[in-house]
Amino acid sequence: MQMLLEFLPLVAFYVAYKFFGGIFVATATLMVGMVLSLAVLWARTRRVPPMFGLVTLLVLAFGTLTLLLRDARFIQWKPSIFLWLLAAAFLGSVFVGREPLAQRVLQPALGETRLERGDWLKLNTAWVLYGLVMGAVNLQVAYHASEATWVNVKFYGLPGSMFLFLIGQLLWLQLTGRLKT
């Protein structure tokens, strides 16, 4: 349910862009959708998922700039800034706390699988590189492709790349014998 609530504002953004008036209507729709999803998540659990809370703040900040200044570049920067903040968080986690962020995020999903610190650091480094690269890719598309292409990349490409990236990490764990099945 939480994943659906987190994904629905992006769907609303895409639908608003394609069918109801372009980037400014889509940005306003995304802002409203994020706040509504956050409110529902809060009502259900009495807590704000940290990552979704950060994304919501970024959407509200960059969306407001987009609408006030009538400049789509601000909302186009948001994915890059989020991905670079994510990369910084993964990198910083190596130096702060007992476990890298990859371990804190992925360990609950891996069940009985226990990895060595070196393996967690490899996964963590992969997340740092993913965030840096995909943030740069987002800006390349934003500045060198049409707005419609950027919207398609935001809707299909970024979530799809993260899904493939996660599958790649699971395959690496499986193929190297680290994942217990």
Entry pTM: 0.92
pLDDT for residue 28? 98
Tens of pLDDT, residue by residue over 8-33, are: 999 999 999 999 989 999 999 999 99
pLDDT for residue 108? 87
Q: Where are the alpha helices (DSSP H) in 94-180?
A: 101-110, 117-144, 147-152, 158-175
Tokens coding 37: 């999803």
Dist. CA 126–CA 102, nearest whole Å? 9
10-residue stretch averages of pLDDT, the chain, 181 residues long: 87 97 97 96 92 95 98 98 97 94 90 88 97 98 98 97 95 84 61
Tens of pLDDT, residue by residue over 70-86, are: 999 999 999 999 999 99
Dist. CA 124–CA 139, nearest whole Å? 23
Domain boundaries, given as residue ranges, for the chain: 1-71, 72-181
> Is the separation of the CB atoms in 33 and 6 below 8 Å?
no
Instruction: Find tokens 């994942």 and name the residue.
Output: 179
pLDDT for residue 176? 86
Dist. CA 26–CA 20, nearest whole Å? 8
pLDDT for residue 181? 61
Read off the DSSP letter of residue 96: S
